[in-house]
Amino acid sequence: MRSPVARALAAVVGRRVLAGPFAGTRLDPGVESGVLMPRVLGTYEMEIRDELLGLLARARRRVVVNVGAADGYYAVGLLRAGLAERVVAFESLPRLRDALAAGARRNGVADRLVIEGHCTGAELGEALREHRPGLLLLDAEGAEVELLDPAEIPDLAEVEILAEIHPWVGAEAVTQIESAFGPTHRSCRIEARRPRAGDISIPFYRRLASLSTRLEARLLQERSAPTSWLSLARRELPARPKTG
């Protein structure tokens, strides 16, 4: 870690998530300092926390496909918290797949995690058919249009979806995705916001933040590029009539 603030924080808390649904999860020793503190403090991507929990509650099965799993914050966290029974995690980078596997072992959930490599549309379709997940959690680094295409991947109609939308995807593409899912899903866009001091209830945080406003800003800093998320919740459609 380059940041002395992050090093000091890691020394105090031992690289565990202290708040939120993933509290108690042991973090990757190599996690970047820019996301370490938000994860420890429980503010990492907290904009989507309620939506994620709501989609999990709606999901038909407690199986999650996580595309772009990175070091496993969500894949491992969901398993450890008991929010998922099994996670199928796709990650393109070998070093992150190694970190993901190590994190699963560190948190005692390796037996419920399936790790795959790069995810194409065909591979996503195969995973949906084979594992029949209730939720698709997607961070595809710009491949959202390819992977969120129900015409090419019909089984997307059967899952709840929460996708990170990167700025370079463009508003027109997001509208295209929403339109494609219109018959089967209700869509909701969620914009990123900076965490606020009031979001954090951890006692030692106040002691650290009181040292300086600059330090508090570092504790709350999460990302520099603007981002958003698209939630696609399945509509309750009438059951298909039986034939024969």
pLDDT at site 204: 52
Q: What is the mean pLDDT of the chain?
A: 85
d(CA 26, CA 40) in angstroms, rounded, equals 9
pLDDT of 202 reads 60
Which pLDDT value is given to residue 19?
A: 86
pLDDT of residue 142: 79
Amino acid 235: pLDDT: 94
Phi, psi of 186 (to 5 degrees): -95, 135
Please state the φ and ψ torsions of residue 43, each to the nearest 5 degrees: -105, 0
- pLDDT by residue (tens digit) across 113-172? 999 999 999 999 999 999 999 999 999 887 999 999 999 999 999 999 999 998 777 889
Q: How many CA atoms does the CB half-sphere of 240 hold within 13 Å?
A: 3
Q: Please give the backbone phi and psi of residue 40, each rounded to the nearest 5 degrees, phi first.
A: -60, -45
Q: What is the pLDDT of residues 21-46, one digit of tens each?
A: 999 999 987 776 667 878 888 888 98
CA 176 to chain centre: 22
pLDDT in tens, 53-110: 999 999 999 999 999 999 999 999 999 999 999 999 999 999 999 999 999 999 999 9
Does pLDDT of 6 surpass 80? no
pLDDT for the residue numbered 176: 94
**Which CATH code is given to the segment(s) 4-234?**
3.40.50.150
The confidence score (pLDDT) of residue 63 equals 98
